[in-house]
Amino acid sequence: MIEARGLVQTFHTGQGKNKKEVHAVKGVDLDVAEGEVVGFLGPNGAGKTTTLRMLVTLLRPTAGTARVAGYDVATEPVQVRRSIGYCSQVGSTFSGAFAGDEVVDHGMLYGMSRKDAVAKGQELFEKFQLEGLWRRMNKNMSGGQKRRLDIVMGLIHSPSLVFLDEPTTGLDPQARANLWEHISGLRANEGATVFLTTHYLDEADALADRIIIIDRGEIVASDTSDNLKASVSGDQVSLELSSDDQVATARDKLASISDDVRVDGRLVHGRVPRAGKAVPGLLRDLEASGVGLEGIEVIRPTLDDVFLTLTGRSLRDADEAAEPENVDAETAAPEGATR
């Protein structure tokens, strides 16, 4: 459904002495299969929106190619636009129009009959808890209601490929959960392919079949949440022993399944890939060796741990990081960053 090769976007800002190049996207390859829900994750300024704008034909790539729904974004933009739904990060509804009219006009632009657009619009208003707002102007809606209206606009023509840019930003927990459910339903009931950007780790974790992480304009990882977590750090296993004299035995046993065992008093810690599989055997082994445990804790890594391992920074710190304009493109990656 999406196939991008070497996508580049370089912006030119300022004039004269202040002229600057912003390397927003630096050679991105993407492959998204039909029916996949992909979470495009990265900190502020990473290049998510810029990549999306190239894929939905709102921005011409500086270099590289992309085919979306079978069409080339540079030479067949109209066909691409007809095949997709798009909900931009900033929204696109006109503040002085009635919400229902906006939605129906939008559907009709995509070739729906007025009757079908009204029926589908009202169904989506109900799904997104916008009942009663059909004749309300956008400017008189709350932030969360506007956001939900943007999403309805992106879905009115039942596209089989949907791009959502930070769809849940500004939504309350109930509205977020509601949208998550709807996104899962789009795929399950209509076989839709969904490409959504987010910087909420839990959102990517809960929704996406696959997570693609972008940092400073480059893809740093692409895999299922489980595989990402397993590949970069493993699970943290901590054993609390009943007595000091068994610490050495426990350390040796844990070392048979972990490369980085640490001892802290009666606590023995280690990172274990896929602990769910390895720990039952470890427990049997410890018992057979007469090692008594007070407790055991297994902590799964978060996507933030994945990001930290890949980039040397936390996603949360990175979120507050300065824009990349002032950073030389070639030296932007932190030392030791892995691909």
Binding range to ligand ATP, per CB under 6 A, among 37-45, 222-230, 262-270, 331-339: 37-45
Q: Which of 41, 128, 53, 115 is nearest to 90 (CA)?
A: 53
| 50 sits near Mg ion (criterion: CB under 5 A) | no
Those residues whose C-beta lies under 8 Å from the C-beta of residue 64, and which sit 6 or more positions away, are 4, 5, 6, 7, 8, 27, 28
* Residues 194 and 164: beta-carbon distance below 8 Å: yes
Residue 162 interacting entry, from Mg ion, ligand ATP, none, C-beta within 5 to 8 Å by type: none
Angle, vertex CA 95, rays to CA 89 and CA 99, nearest 5: 90
Of the residues 39, 42, 167, 270, which one makes contact with ligand ATP according to CB under 6 A: 42
Q: Does 289 bind ligand ATP (CB under 6 A)?
A: no
13 binds, among Mg ion, ligand ATP, none (CB under 5 to 8 A by kind): ligand ATP
Instruction: Return phi, psi of residue 89, to 5°.
Output: -65, -35
Q: Pick the piece of the chain touching ligand ATP (CB under 6 A) from 27-35, 39-47, 183-191, 249-257.
A: 39-47
Closest CB to ligand ATP among residues 259, 323? 323
CA-to-CA distance for 119 and 116, rounded, in angstroms? 5
Q: Which of 1, 26, 38, 50 binds ligand ATP (CB under 6 A)?
A: 50
Supply the DSSP symbol for 266.
T
d(C-alpha 330, C-alpha 333), whole Å: 7
Q: How far apart are CA 127 and CA 121, in angstroms?
A: 10
- 29 near ligand ATP, rule: CB under 6 A: no
Which residues, numbered 72-91, are part of the site for Mg ion (CB under 5 A)?
89
Kindly state whether residue 169 participates in binding Mg ion, applying the rule CB under 5 A. no
Residues that bind Mg ion (CB under 5 A): 48-49, 89
Residues that bind ligand ATP (CB under 6 A): 11, 13, 22, 24, 42, 44-50, 89, 199, 323-325
